[in-house]
Chains A and B, each alone.
Chain A
Amino acid sequence: MTETAGRSKGLAISRQIVLPWSKSLSMAMNSLRIRFFRSLITTFSLVLAIAFLGYTLTGSAIARELFRIHGDAAMPLLIEAGYSLDSTGLGITAGPKELWLMVLSLLVCTVGIVNAQLMSVTERFREIGIMKCLGALDGMILRLFLLEALALGLFGAGAGAVLGLVVAWASSFLHFGALDYGQMNILPLLAEAAKAWGTGIGLSVLGVLYPAILAAKLQPIIVMKEEY
């Protein structure tokens, strides 16, 4: 049999074994709901890391807005709060220390997600094996884990971004309470929060990739083994 014939036969059969998107989604949500506590722990590091990212990003956006409104008059307060003029002299950036902290926190968060998802895959070895025995394809298992991660990302990173925005907004009053917030444009702030949200969703999906591939590659014979 030629290579192409084999592949088209595979495709023909993959169309006979299906898991509709609506069903995949409801299975993924059900799985999250039932393992709510574990899902919460998996999400928690994401919430914190994205809250920090969101806080830093929106904090900078607030500082930029204040610089735009008040110009040099805001400079002493901004410098005191740790911001500096960027190289173009037109914008405001966060200090390098904060950037480092941001990168580090995201890195730690990703490692945390990979770790938690590996645990979750190991816990579900038998369940995955059963599905394989019932005819599930590798791609279906992969899809279920990706959907779960996507949902965790949407909610976890969403919560983190909102938390970061609120804290950044509130704490900005501590530093810049003397300045007038009247003409502040809220859109750049929301854009920065959305950036943090998107990053979080990306990290959540990235973190589940390796564990999900591991799960998808499991052989159905795993259910015959006592230890799982």
Chain B
Amino acid sequence: MDTHHIVRVVAVTKTFSLGKMPVQVLKGVDLEVEAGEYLSIMGPSGSGKSTLFNMIGGLDKPTSGRVFIDEVDISQLDAYELAWLRNRKIGYIFQTFNLIPVMSALENVTLPMIFAGMSGDDAVEKGRGLLDLVGLGERFQHKPSELSGGQQQRVAIARALANDPAIILADEPTGNLDSSTGEEIIALLQKMSRERQVTVISATHDFKMLNVSDRVVWIRDGRIDKIEHRDELSISIGTIQERHESAHS
């Protein structure tokens, strides 16, 4: 079967200016992500991991190079098309959950559907279904402040799936959760990716993520250090901790 590249990153660089000093955060990154893949981007803080991640999500634009989502160069898109892309093609999951605090779980999940023009009743029905799917069917009327971290992240996952996106972008999805809750969230993401054929791209430094990833991209100093497939991972998994520590030292 022909592999379909849902995301293609071509020679991307990004330079930020800190005061008068230009700092090159990404120094030429090439990356292709296949549809349906579960990809983890790993790297220490300051490696350019988050910058690359934001770029893939259409939240930031490269200084040079191109980012294609579904073979569309996102730097060519206007504000409307970017909004459409964020609404239909991409579902975002954040480290800090980022639910809208004044809205109930159900309202949070249905908001992207309302933006997409779905009628109120249909949105509620689909929203309830998605909350059931993530195991929060009973708590749909709760506000984010009345939910635990893990529950909030489940709502965020349901919200990310609202418009059946092609890609789910998860930025440190387990970063604010304890270890066992993190595992549940990872398992849920994996299940969604498998059952719904969604491409999951996740920036993380949680090693629990590696077990479920099809590929892991290691970023160091603004470049791709190494890309490992799952089968290679199982061999090198013992050395990962070691490498991680050396990256931090």
A interface residues (Cβ-Cβ under 8 A, vs B): 6, 9-10, 13-14, 16-20, 23, 30-31, 34-35, 126-127, 130-138, 140, 219-221, 223-224
Taking a contact as CB atoms under 8 Å apart, the answer to whether A224 and B81 are in contact is: no
Shortest Cβ distance from A95 into chain B, in angstroms?
Answer: 47
B88 at interface, CB cutoff 8 A: yes
Residues of A with C-beta under 8 A to B102: 30-31, 34-35, 127
Residues of B with C-beta under 8 A to A17: 80, 83-84, 87, 115-117
Taking a contact as CB atoms under 8 Å apart, the answer to whether B80 and A224 are in contact is: no
Residues of A with C-beta under 8 A to B204: none
B170 at interface, CB cutoff 8 A: no
**CB interface residues, B 67-101, toward A, < 8 Å:** 78-81, 83-84, 86-88, 92, 94, 98-101
Taken together as a complex, chains A and B put the C-alpha atoms of A184 and B151 apart, in Å, by: 65
Taking a contact as CB atoms under 8 Å apart, the answer to whether A223 and B116 are in contact is: no
Interface of A is mostly: helix
Shortest Cβ distance from A140 into chain B, in angstroms?
Answer: 8
Shortest Cβ distance from B165 into chain A, in angstroms?
Answer: 10
Taken together as a complex, chains A and B put the C-alpha atoms of A22 and B21 apart, in Å, by: 49
Taken together as a complex, chains A and B put the C-alpha atoms of A183 and B60 apart, in Å, by: 70
Closest to B59 in A: A221
**CB interface residues, B 81-137, toward A, < 8 Å:** 81, 83-84, 86-88, 92, 94, 98-103, 111-112, 114-117, 120
Shortest Cβ distance from B45 into chain A, in angstroms?
Answer: 12
Q: Which 8 A-B pairs have the closest CB atoms?
A: A135-B87, A13-B80, A221-B59, A10-B80, A134-B112, A34-B102, A135-B115, A18-B117
Could you tell me how many residues of chain B have their Cβ less than 8 Å away from some Cβ of chain A? Answer: 30
Q: Which of B79, B86, B88, B120 contacts A133 (CB 8 A)?
A: B86
Shortest Cβ distance from B86 into chain A, in angstroms?
Answer: 5
Taken together as a complex, chains A and B put the C-alpha atoms of A23 and B112 apart, in Å, by: 13
Taking a contact as CB atoms under 8 Å apart, the answer to whether B98 and A132 are in contact is: no
Taking a contact as CB atoms under 8 Å apart, the answer to whether B50 and A224 are in contact is: yes
Q: A126-B98, A132-B86, A221-B59 are in contact. Are A137 and B80 (CB under 8 A)?
A: yes
Q: Which of B54, B79, B115, B171 contacts A134 (CB 8 A)?
A: B115
Taken together as a complex, chains A and B put the C-alpha atoms of A30 and B100 apart, in Å, by: 12
Taken together as a complex, chains A and B put the C-alpha atoms of A223 and B79 apart, in Å, by: 18
Taking a contact as CB atoms under 8 Å apart, the answer to whether A131 and B100 are in contact is: yes
Q: Which of B54, B86, B98, B120 contacts A135 (CB 8 A)?
A: B86
Residues of A with C-beta under 8 A to B50: 224
Q: A10-B78, A19-B115, A131-B111 are in contact. Are A137 and B100 (CB under 8 A)?
A: no
Taking a contact as CB atoms under 8 Å apart, the answer to whether B114 and A19 are in contact is: yes
Taking a contact as CB atoms under 8 Å apart, the answer to whether A127 and B101 are in contact is: yes
A-B contact pairs, 13 of them (CB 8 A): A13-B83, A13-B84, A19-B115, A31-B102, A131-B111, A132-B86, A133-B92, A134-B92, A134-B112, A136-B115, A137-B83, A140-B115, A223-B98
**CB interface residues, B 38-82, toward A, < 8 Å:** 50, 54, 59-60, 78-81
Taking a contact as CB atoms under 8 Å apart, the answer to whether B100 and A220 are in contact is: no
Taking a contact as CB atoms under 8 Å apart, the answer to whether A224 and B112 are in contact is: no
Taken together as a complex, chains A and B put the C-alpha atoms of A137 and B60 apart, in Å, by: 17
- Known contacts A134-B87, A135-B86; 10 additional CB pairs below 8 A are A9-B81, A13-B80, A14-B80, A131-B111, A135-B84, A135-B87, A135-B112, A138-B79, A224-B59, A224-B94
Taking a contact as CB atoms under 8 Å apart, the answer to whether B115 and A18 are in contact is: yes
Taking a contact as CB atoms under 8 Å apart, the answer to whether B111 and A134 are in contact is: yes
Residues of A with C-beta under 8 A to B101: 127
Shortest Cβ distance from B170 into chain A, in angstroms?
Answer: 13
Taken together as a complex, chains A and B put the C-alpha atoms of A20 and B118 apart, in Å, by: 10
Residues of A with C-beta under 8 A to B59: 133, 219-221, 224
Taking a contact as CB atoms under 8 Å apart, the answer to whether B115 and A13 are in contact is: no
Closest to A14 in B: B80
Taking a contact as CB atoms under 8 Å apart, the answer to whether A6 and B78 are in contact is: yes
Taken together as a complex, chains A and B put the C-alpha atoms of A9 and B79 apart, in Å, by: 11
Taking a contact as CB atoms under 8 Å apart, the answer to whether B100 and A127 are in contact is: yes
Residues of A with C-beta under 8 A to B78: 6, 9-10
